[in-house]
Amino acid sequence: MTILHSDVGGQTNSRKIGVLLSNLGTPDGTDYWSVRRYLAEFLSDRRVVEAPRLFWLFILNAVILTTRPRRKGKDYATIWNRGRDESPLKTITRSQAEKLQQSIRDGLLGDTNSDVIVDWGMRYGNPSLKAAIERLTARGCTRILFVPLYPQYSAATSATACDKLFDLLALMRNQPTLRIAAPYYDEDSYIDAIAGSLSDRLSSAGFEPDVIVASFHGMPLDTRIEGDPYYVHCHRTADLIRSRLGLSQERLIVTFQSRFGRAEWLKPHTDETIKALAARGAKRIAVITPGFSADCLETIEEIGSENAAYFFAEGGEAFARIDCLNDSSRGMRVIEAIVRRELSGWI
């Protein structure tokens, strides 16, 4: 049995606060076995795949994990950060944590900044949430703010990250006090940042798009039927962006990408929509991905390469993929605003 040990003993009077940023995760490499380990952990999560358990595990191990790792490994290789030998998601999340720590040192939270320690971990793969919790408690953090970096709530993202954290705390005798940051799909700082990023990118793109596609990660339709608020959150985000920029519903449309398997998923699908736009005569489009806080395989390769190729193959002439907020000044202002809000009463 694995037991997490906290160095925060009963004798300590430490009042340090940990801020733990978390994102989905990444394989450790682009080779078959690294990608297989990552996919095995990810696709074994009951929150991610809600199919009958025994049937799904058979399909996963007999079919998916024998073929998909090699194909996805090739995709990861096209975007891999060769200098650090890691995925962009890992590079960006680390930088977000480091920049948040520096902002806190620079006075973001007033005169108690030395008592706030920032760390980061992934729901799947490395660095793990377990390692992050151990580091924070070893440094004397008796209170931890957990910040899942998903603007829109879904059981398959936000909830499973919380599940993992709760499982880790269940192994600790001396648990830190925990807060979970709320989703921020309608926060002013987030909407302002997305709208500003989009406006700046279009100004430098050299063309005016006929349509702006807001592509969110897809989810099976059943998740919406069962009460997951993700679909509503995505549309609320898009509505607020439209309002902020004065765009019509026809000018900025919502789609869902990255569907997997044979189940019915949220519609409209990004790839089918982009093909249809070009077939109907759209020559210039821009794609934003406001459901992602950091660029990753789904944004860089799936949108910027795969879907761009679909558009050009159908007669499109200009395609702009708008970067995620990442660790930009706008992106960091969003994270800082969330942290300030959620630490109210602790600071």
Please report the pLDDT score of residue 15 as a whole number: 83
Predicted pLDDT at 110: 78
Residue 136 burial (CB < 10 Å; 0-12/13-18/19+)? buried
What is the reported pLDDT for 205?
A: 87
DSSP H helices, the chain, are: 32-43, 53-59, 65-79, 88-105, 129-138, 160-169, 188-205, 221-225, 230-245, 270-279, 297, 308-313, 329-342
Which regions of the chain are under pLDDT 70? 1-14, 112-113
Angle of helix 32-43 versus helix 65-79 axis, rounded to 10 = 110
pTM, entire model: 0.93
CB atoms under 10 Å from CB of 223, counted, come to 21
Rounded distance between C-alpha atoms, residue 155 and residue 171, angstroms = 23
Note whether 198 and 212 are within 8 A (CB): yes
Please answer whether residues 189 and 333 qualify as being in contact, where contact means their C-beta atoms are separated by less than 8 angstroms. Answer: yes
pLDDT of residue 215: 98
Instruction: Please tell me the predicted confidence (pLDDT) of residue 14.
Output: 64
Task: State residue 4's pLDDT score.
Answer: 56
Strand partners of residue 253: 213
Closest CA to 44 of 60, 67, 32, 30: 60
Residue 323: the pLDDT is 97
Helix (H, G, I), strand (E, B) or coil at 114: helix
Both structure tokens of 292: 């992602």
Q: Which domains does the chain have, with CATH numbers?
A: 188-321 (3.40.50.1400)
Burial 165-204 (b: 16+ CB within 10 A, else e): beebeeebeebbebbbbebbbebebbbbbbbbbbeeebee
Residues forming a β-bridge with 220: 265
Q: What is the pLDDT of residue 8?
A: 44
